[in-house]
Structure 1
Amino acid sequence: MDCISVFDMLKIGVGPSSSHTLGPWRAAEAFIKELEMASIFEDITHVQVDLYGSLSLTGKGHATDYAVMLGLSGADPEYIPVDDISTNINTISTDKKIKLGNKNVIDFNPSTDIIFNKDFLPFHANGLMFTASYGDKKYSTIFYSVGGGFITKEDAEIANMEVTCAFPYLFNTSTELLEICLRENKSISEIMFENEKSIRTEDEIHYELKRIWDTMLECMYIGCHTEGILPGGLNVKRRAFDMHRKLIGERPYANQQEWIISIRKTTVYFRQILKWVSCFALAVNEVNASLGRVVTAPTNGSAGVIPAVLMYYLVIENHKAGQKEIDQFLITAGVIGSIFKKGATISAAMGGCQAEIGVSSAMAAGALCELMGGTPAQVTMAAEIAMEHHLGLTCDPIGGLVQIPCIERNTMGAVKAINAAELALDTDPLFAKVPLDKVVNTMWETAKDMNNKYKETSEGGLAVAVNIADC
C-alpha cells in the first residue's frame, strides 16, 4: 500500500509543467544531494545534463533547461521570486558559469552542457541523466520525472521495500477506500485527515492546506488582472483579463478577499457562471504558461481545474463557506488523485492528457460532490463520471508549449467536473454500472495502447496540424 499524501498530489511550484519543469528541477536538487552524500561535491568541476524522450522533444517549450539550471543552482521552486527566474537564467547563460548548490561556482555552458537526446530510455518517457566530473573521474545518475512533480529512479521500488507506511488507513483502490469509510462511518476527507495526522500535526496540516489555497487564489487573481501576450512564440493573447473585466464590471475591491465578496454580488445566470468558471481556469493556466507560481493539481498543465471548481463553490454555491470547506475540498481531491497515481498515471508523457486534465477533473468532481453532501460512494462516482468522459484524451501541445490546447482544456475539465458532481448527487450508487476502479484500469490500458506521438512529444495531433508559423 503506497502512502501518498495530499501534499504529494498538490505541490506548489513554478510553471509551465510539473513533469517537464518541476520534476527536472527536483531531480537536479536530488542530484546535488547525492554529490554531497558521496563526499565529492566540493571536487566537482563540470556537470553535463542529458535529457531523453519527451523531456527532450518538448523540453524547450516546457522550460526544462531553465528548470535544470535553477535546480542545480540551489533555487527552490516553492519560494524563488518568479521575477528572479529570467535574471538568474540570463546570468548563467551570459557568464557560462553556475553556482552549484548555491555554493560552488563551476563552468557551465547551457548550449553545450544541456543535451537534448530524442531517444527514449526504457523505464519511462521522461528521463534525464546528470554526469559530474571531478579530477579524472565521473559520477552519473539517472532520474525519471513521472508526472505531478514526482521523481524516481529505476531501482526506487527496491529501495522503498523496507519503508513502512505510517497511515492508519491503507488503500490503493476506491473499493478499499469505500470499505474503510463504511466500516469507520467517516467521509473520505475524514479518513484522509486521520492519515495525514500520522505524519503531521493538525496545525501543520491546516497551515499547509491554507498555503496551497492561498497560492491558488493568488494565481487566479494575478491571471485575472494581467493582460498581454504569453511568452514562447505562439503569440497567444491572455483572455482571462478581458473576460474578468466584463464579468466583474465596476464593483470595487482592494485585495483577494474583497474580490471574492465582489464576485458573489455578480449576476449568476447560467452563462455568467460558465464564464466565471472558465475565467478562473484560464487565469491559472495563463500564469502557469508564463513561468508563474501555481499548484500542481495534480500537474501544472491541469493546474486550473481544481481552483476553478473550488472558487465556483465559494462564490456561487456557498457564500458562507470558509477554510473548513476549502480544507475538505483539497483533502478529498488529493485522495482521488492518489488513486489514479497508484493505479494508472498522472504523466501526460505516459498517458496523454487524460492523465492530466482527466485526473484533475475527476479530483475536482469528487471533492465538489463531498462538499455538496455526497456520500463516499457518490464521491467516487463523480470522479468516475469525470474521467470516463476524458478517456483517450491526447497530449499534443503546439510548439511543445503548455498553451494550445492546454489552457482551454482546463476550462473544459472544470465544467465537466461540476456536471459530474451534479450527476452523481442525483444518482443512487447502487445503480452505477461503472465503478471508479474500472475507469482507472481502463485509463491505464488506454495509456499503454496510445501511440507515443500523442503523449507530450508534439509529434502528432494539433502539434503537427498547426505549427508556430501558422500562429
Structure 2
Amino acid sequence: MNTTDGVEHVGNSTKQQNNDHHAVVSTFDLFSIGIGPSSSHTVGPMRAARIFVNDLKEHNVLEKVHSLRVDLYSSLALTGKGHGTPEAVLLGIEGETPAQVETSTMKSRIQDMYDTKSIRLDGHHRINFDPAKQLVFNYFQSLPQHPNGMRLTVYDKDATLIATNGYFSIGGGFVVNDKTQLAHGENVYYKNIKRSKALASRREQDSAVVALPFRNAEELLATCREKKMTIAQVVFENELNWHTADEIRTKLLTIWNTMDESIKNGVMASSIEHLPGNLKVKRRAPKLYQKLLKGLYGPVPTAESTYNDSRIPIAPAPIIPESIGSFGPHSKDESKTSFPLSLSVLPKRQRKRFYLPALDYLSVYAIAVNEENACGNRIVTAPTNGAAGTIPSVLKYYLEFISDNPEHDVMEFLLTTAAIGMLFKRGASISAAEVGCQGEVGVACSMAAAGFTAVLGGTVEQVENAAEIGMEHNLGLTCDPIDSLVQVPCIERNALAAVKAVAAAQLALNGEGDHRVSLDQVIETMRQTGHDMMSKYKETSQGGLAVNVPMC
C-alpha cells in the first residue's frame, strides 16, 4: 500500500526469481475452502480487498476514509461480472473472507449496497459508495505484471489521497501486490490475511525454509529415492514447517469433508434448478445421480480374460429381396423403391445398455461440484475453482469403490496432488488468464492422476508418469467461457478431466515408470504454450465458444 506518509505495504522481496527458489508452498495454500465461481476472479479479489482494509486499520487511517474507488483491469474486468468479481470485492471491503462468508446472505447484502449507495469498511465504517460509478471496469487496459489486476484507492473528506494499492490475483486464490515478485508468486497473504502475521521465512521463500526443498519434478524424485520416501511423505515433512502432525491431519480431513459435502450438495439439489446467469443451464448432477442409484445400467457383464476381437469380417454383402432393391447394377427398377435403400442396409437400432459405471460416477461427482461452484456455493479450490470438480471426483470414486483405509488414503492422495500442483505453480501457472484452461483443468487432471496412482500403490516414477500424461493431453486447452460464466464448457470439462486422470493413472501403472517425455518437460511446454496463446483464449470471453455460441 502506498500512503501519503510514505509507508509502503509490500508482500515480499522484489528480487528476481532465481534457481534457488524452491517450489514448496503449504498444501493448504493450494487447497483452500472458498466460494464459487472462480478462484482467480472471486476468491482472490475478495482476499485482496480484505487485505487492503486490514492495512488501513493497521495504519490507523480507516476512520479517515470518506470515499473509495475500485478499478478492475483486463481479465478481471472482461469476465468479472460473470465470475462474481464485483460482489467479491465489495464483500471483501466489508471484511469478509472466502472461507467464512455466509453464502445465503451475499445476494441481499450486495443489493443493499446498490440500493443505499453505501458500503461499510471492515463491516462498520459506512461511507458513500455508488458501485455503478465508483467500481470501474477497465476492459482494455492491462497492468504489466498480470492480466488479473485490480486497484483500490481511498480519499479523505477533502478528496485527498489517503492510500492506494494494486493487487494481482494470480490463480488458485493466490494474491500478490504491486511490489511482490510475480515470477515466483509466493503469496504471503494467502492464509494470513494480515500482513503482520505472514512469517518472514515465507516472505523470503528461502530454500532453507523447508526440510526437503525441491524446484522441479527431477529434484522431487531424487529426494524420494535418496530418502526412500513417497511423494506424500516428502510433502508431509515439509508441511511440518508450518503445522503440527495433528494439525496437518485435521486440515486434510477438513479439506476432504468440504469436498465431499460439495458433491453431496450438488447431487441432492433440485434437478429443475437453473444455474445463475443468462445461459439458463439446468443442473444435471441430480438426475444423473438418480439414474445411478436406480441401477438403470443393467447387470455387470462377465469379464473375459482374453482380448475380445472387434474386427469385422469382410464377407459378401447379404442378398436383399428385390422388392426393396439391392446393391449393384443388377438391381430391378431401383426408381420404384418406396424408401431409401439405406434404411434396409443400415436400419435404426434399439438403444443398448452400456455398463461402465466408473465413468458415470466420475462424471456425476465432478459435475456436482462444479454446479455448486457455478452457484457461488462453498467448495474447495483444487487448485482453482474452475477446476474444483476433478480432484474431488477421483478421490470420491477411490474412497467409494477401492479404499480400505479412507483416512490414510485421503492424506496420501491430497499430499501427492499438492506436490504436483506446486510444480506447476512454480514452473508455469495455475491461472487461466495467463495460460488458458490448461493451467486449471489441465493441472487438476495432472494432480488427480498422480494422486490416484499413489493410492493404488504406484512407484514415485509411475506417479510422475501419470502426472505427465495428465497434462500432456491437455496442452493448448483454451479458456473461453460463454457469457463469462464458469459453466460452459467448464462443468463438463471437469468431468472429462476426471475420466482422463484415471486413464492416465492406469497407463502409468501398466508401465515401469520410464517414459520419453518428463513432467518437467511438459510443464515447460505448458508455460510456453500459454505464453504464445492469444489473449482472447485466456479468460477474456473474446474468442472460441464465447463468441461462436449465440446467447439467444
| Alignment match, 1:263 | none
* Residue of 205, 211, 234 corresponding to 2:248: 205
Indicate if the aligned counterparts of 1:32 and 1:41 stay in contact, CA closer than 8 A: yes
**C-alpha separation in 2, matches of 1:167 and 1:213:** 25
DSSP-derived class of the 2:209 partner: coil
| Alignment match, 1:389 | 473
Q: Deviation of residue 249 (structure 1)? A: 2.2
**C-alpha separation in 2, matches of 1:267 and 1:336:** 35
**C-alpha separation in 2, matches of 1:297 and 1:267:** 33
Are 1:11 and 2:32 an aligned pair?
yes
TM-score by length of 2: 0.80
| Alignment match, 2:268 | 225
| Alignment match, 2:56 | 35
* Residue of 426, 444, 448 corresponding to 2:527: 444
Indicate if the aligned counterparts of 2:69 and 2:153 stay in contact, CA closer than 8 A: yes
Closer, same or farther: CA 452–213 of 1 in aligned 2, 3 Å? same
Indicate if the aligned counterparts of 1:28 and 1:68 stay in contact, CA closer than 8 A: yes
Deviation string, structure 1 residues 435-461 (Cα, Å, up to 9, x no partner): 000000000000000000000000000
Q: Which moved more, 1:30-39 or 1:161-170?
A: 161-170
Greater gyration radius? 2
**C-alpha separation in 1, matches of 2:551 and 2:70:** 27
Are 1:293 and 2:378 an aligned pair?
yes
Are 1:243 and 2:288 an aligned pair?
yes
**C-alpha separation in 2, matches of 1:217 and 1:162:** 35
**C-alpha separation in 1, matches of 2:551 and 2:356:** 33
**C-alpha separation in 1, matches of 2:165 and 2:224:** 42
**C-alpha separation in 2, matches of 1:392 and 1:163:** 30
| Alignment match, 1:274 | 359
Indicate if the aligned counterparts of 1:72 and 1:100 stay in contact, CA closer than 8 A: yes
AA paired with 1:235?
K
Q: Which moved more, 1:399-408 or 1:96-105?
A: 96-105
- The root-mean-square deviation of aligned C-alpha atoms, in Å, is 1.7
Q: Deviation of residue 270 (structure 1)? A: 4.9
Indicate if the aligned counterparts of 2:445 and 2:470 stay in contact, CA closer than 8 A: yes
Q: Deviation of residue 76 (structure 1)? A: 2.0
Are 1:120 and 2:142 an aligned pair?
yes
DSSP-derived class of the 1:459 partner: coil
Deviation string, structure 1 residues 224-251 (Cα, Å, up to 9, x no partner): 0112110111000100000001111299
Closer, same or farther: CA 246–28 of 1 in aligned 2, 3 Å? same
Are 1:134 and 2:152 an aligned pair?
no
| Alignment match, 1:170 | 213
**C-alpha separation in 2, matches of 1:96 and 1:154:** 29
Deviation string, structure 1 residues 394-425 (Cα, Å, up to 9, x no partner): 00000000000000000011000000011111
Are 1:283 and 2:368 an aligned pair?
yes
Closer, same or farther: CA 267–21 of 1 in aligned 2, 3 Å? farther
Indicate if the aligned counterparts of 1:166 and 1:199 stay in contact, CA closer than 8 A: no
Are 1:344 and 2:417 an aligned pair?
no
DSSP-derived class of the 1:444 partner: helix
| Alignment match, 1:417 | 501
**C-alpha separation in 1, matches of 2:156 and 2:540:** 34
Indicate if the aligned counterparts of 2:383 and 2:444 stay in contact, CA closer than 8 A: yes
Indicate if the aligned counterparts of 2:23 and 2:423 stay in contact, CA closer than 8 A: no
Closer, same or farther: CA 202–415 of 1 in aligned 2, 3 Å? same
Indicate if the aligned counterparts of 1:399 and 1:467 stay in contact, CA closer than 8 A: no
Q: Deviation of residue 81 (structure 1)? A: 2.2
Deviation string, structure 1 residues 240-267 (Cα, Å, up to 9, x no partner): 000001111299xxxxxxxxxxxxxx97
AA paired with 1:397?
P
| Alignment match, 2:10 | none
AA paired with 1:466?
V
Q: How many aligned positions are there?
A: 453
| Alignment match, 2:398 | 313
AA paired with 1:99?
R
Q: Deviation of residue 147 (structure 1)? A: 0.3
Q: Deviation of residue 312 (structure 1)? A: 1.0
DSSP-derived class of the 2:257 partner: helix
Deviation string, structure 1 residues 52-73 (Cα, Å, up to 9, x no partner): 0000000000000000011001
Q: Deviation of residue 154 (structure 1)? A: 3.3
| Alignment match, 1:154 | 178
**C-alpha separation in 2, matches of 1:270 and 1:330:** 30
**C-alpha separation in 1, matches of 2:396 and 2:300:** 16
**C-alpha separation in 2, matches of 1:275 and 1:145:** 34
* Residue of 347, 353, 357 corresponding to 2:441: 357
| Alignment match, 2:125 | 104
Deviation string, structure 1 residues 139-159 (Cα, Å, up to 9, x no partner): 211000000000112321299
**C-alpha separation in 1, matches of 2:167 and 2:179:** 10
**C-alpha separation in 2, matches of 1:273 and 1:451:** 36
Higher helix share: 1
TM-score by length of 1: 0.93
**C-alpha separation in 2, matches of 1:245 and 1:169:** 46
AA paired with 1:455?
K
Which ranges in structure 1 are unaligned for 5 or more consecutive residues?
Answer: 252-265
**C-alpha separation in 2, matches of 1:312 and 1:464:** 36
DSSP-derived class of the 2:42 partner: helix
AA paired with 1:326?
V
| Alignment match, 1:261 | none
Deviation string, structure 1 residues 99-121 (Cα, Å, up to 9, x no partner): 11112111121111111101111
Q: Which moved more, 1:398-407 or 1:100-109?
A: 100-109
**C-alpha separation in 2, matches of 1:297 and 1:270:** 30
Are 1:69 and 2:114 an aligned pair?
no
| Alignment match, 1:257 | none
* Residue of 51, 60, 65 corresponding to 2:72: 51
Q: Deviation of residue 162 (structure 1)? A: 3.9
AA paired with 1:342?
R
| Alignment match, 1:369 | 453
| Alignment match, 2:6 | none
Matches within 5 A, 1:448-463: 448-463=531-546
Q: Deviation of residue 468 (structure 1)? A: 2.1
